[in-house]
Amino acid sequence: MSLTITTERLILRQLTLDDAEAAFEWTGDERVARYMIYSTHESIETTKEWLRSIKPSENVFGFVRKSDGKLIGSGGIRLLEDGFWEFGYNFRFDCWGMGYATEASKAMIDHVRSKFGDVPLRAECAAENTASAHVIEKCGLVFKDFGEYTSYDGLKTFKAKIYESR
């Protein structure tokens, strides 16, 4: 994927192995990983493994702040088997509450909709994660149901709020 999306304050671009140090600033932060499907990365090697696992064809982006060129987060949008497009994101702790998650999410949604039309959307977050719930609502999704998700390593399970656009 060589796709680049530009917003008012961000550049969404492909992640590379060269991003490991910057990405470890949030993947290694337990505050950021608290509600994520991954557990806190204990070393930069874990972050490098994750970066190597991303396929170029996936809609996974690094979020670069235009003002200083700093990689401050990542996220993606993917087509699920049931026809919904699911999006997600995470950012450095010092970038929380600044509207970056909403800006990046809307850009990913706009990109998919420009290619495929008015597709149905889905997103979920830990029920306790009210900040993420607000981002999802700002993207036009409405609460549909409760669910549950477990981290990749099986160490964390969360009650989830599931949102949809239809």
- Model confidence over 110-142: pLDDT tens digits? 999 999 999 999 999 999 999 999 999 999 999
Residue 109 confidence (pLDDT) above 80: yes
Closest-CA residue to 75 (of 111, 46, 42): 111
DSSP per residue, 53-102: H--TTS-EEEEEETTT--EEEEEEEEE-TTS-EEEEEEE-GGGTTSSHHH
- Model confidence over 10-40: pLDDT tens digits? 999 999 999 999 999 999 999 999 999 999 9
CA atoms within 13 A on the CB side of 137: 9
Q: Extract the tokens encoding 59.
A: 């809609």
What distance in Å separates the CA atoms of residue 7 and residue 21, rounded to the nearest whole number? 24
User: What pTM value is reported for the model?
Assistant: 0.94
Q: In the sheet that 157-164 helps form, which strands lie side by side, from edge to edge?
A: 5-6, 10-13, 60-65, 71-79, 85-91, 121-126, 157-164, 142-150
